[in-house]
Amino acid sequence: MNLQTAMMTIIGVFRKNAGQDKTLNKTELKTLLEAEFQGLLGNAKDKNVID
């Protein structure tokens, strides 16, 4: 994956989670992180750390 493709992917994921207002609120960010970094966050002992 080249840098341009990577950027497009990041923007796509952002848009997918940002919704109509095109900004990520705390809840949307959390959803994004949980969806995209499942393996990483799955190891966290306390899920509230993400907050």
Using CB under 5 A as the criterion, which residues of the chain lie in contact with Ca ion when the complex forms? 18-19, 21, 28
Nearer to Ca ion, 26 or 45 (CB): 26
Closest alpha carbon to 31 in 42, 10, 19, 17: 17
Q: Least distance from C-beta 45 to Ca ion, angstroms?
A: 29
CA atoms within 13 A on the CB side of 5: 2
Q: Least distance from C-beta 25 to Ca ion, angstroms?
A: 5
Contact 11, 5 (CB under 8 A): no
Nearer to Ca ion, 23 or 44 (CB): 23
